[in-house]
Amino acid sequence: MLAEIAPDPWIIRSRPNPGARLRLFCLPFAGGSASTYRGWPAHLPVDVEVIAVQLPGREERLREPAYTSAVELSRKLVTVLARYLDRPFALFGHSMGGLVAFELTRTLRAAGLPLPEHLFVSAHCGPRKAFCLPPVSGMSDRELLMLIRRMGGTRDEVLQDDDVMKLMLPLLRADLTICETYHYIPEAPLPCPISAFGGVLDDHVRRADVLTWGAETSGGFQARMFPGGHFFLDDAKPRLLQTIAEDLATHRAPAGVSRARLDGGASPC
């Protein structure tokens, strides 16, 4: 059992579970934070501990500079998470977080560290595909604000608060730069299964984009579409969490038992 760990600014556990069978590390979307996953433990099996990763530049880490490179962030996350990999684990990332979760898995492999039992990538095109949003590097603040408004997921009162947006826009730029500047380097497919999720109303990440994740694994792939747009993790939260729980449950199956399709009410691609 892992010894008691001193507080870590990267690690947020809304419901600590030292006896958990598996840890689910959750990475945020661009501009998002660990609080997105605060309510998840109540909807997942009791033997799964949800650990939200708090990246620099948000909430209590607001004054820290945000990362702008998926590779650099993944290298740092390997050093952060290494001591938490004493038991099976899975990774979930939404939008930018999905890309970072993928690159993190590759970095773990390169370091000879344990790999996730399952990789969940949500609302992001496969890594071989070009950035699925308009380039943010040349956008004015007004243009970036309009893009965020179109994508949804941010309350109107937040978008209309100039003081809040002055704090948020630099973070959004940094996070979206992670996606915009990502350079895919061909490697062998990952051995862990990948579940890729998309929203049926997402104009930026379409069904065909979700399916491209299948090329990144030799360990099994499923793609599912959920009701809602880019932020279906809010619109379809119960279905999404049921699907994640069912996919994680397949890792309890005895050796030799094939993985059944379990779609949790979502529409398979």
| Structural domains in the chain plus CATH codes | 11-268 (3.40.50.1820)
Is the Cβ–Cβ distance between 229 and 205 less than 8 Å? no
Is the Cβ–Cβ distance between 260 and 250 less than 8 Å? yes
Catalytic residue of the set 33, 95, 122, 195: 95
Q: Which of 198, 193, 213 is nearest to 259 (CA)?
A: 193
pLDDT at 159: 74
The rounded percent of the chain whose pLDDT value lies above 90 is 74
In sequence order, what are the residues at sequence separation of 6 or more whose Cβ sits closer than 8 angstroms to the Cβ of residue 148?
A: 31, 154, 159, 172
Q: Which of 47-61, 120-134, 236-250 has the lowest mean pLDDT?
A: 120-134
Query: Over 90: is that where the pLDDT of 201 sits?
Result: yes
Q: What is the pTM of this model?
A: 0.89
Tell me the C-alpha to C-alpha distance, in Å, between residue 129 and each of 69, 171, 211. Answer: 17, 24, 11
User: Known catalytic residue: 267?
Assistant: no
Residue 265 pLDDT grade (very low, low, confident, very high; cuts 50, 70, 90)? very low
Residue 199 pLDDT grade (very low, low, confident, very high; cuts 50, 70, 90)? very high
Q: What pLDDT, in 10s, does the model give residues 78-131?
A: 999 999 999 999 999 999 999 999 999 999 999 999 999 999 999 999 999 867
pLDDT at 147: 83
HSE-CB at 114 with a 13 A cutoff on CA atoms is: 16
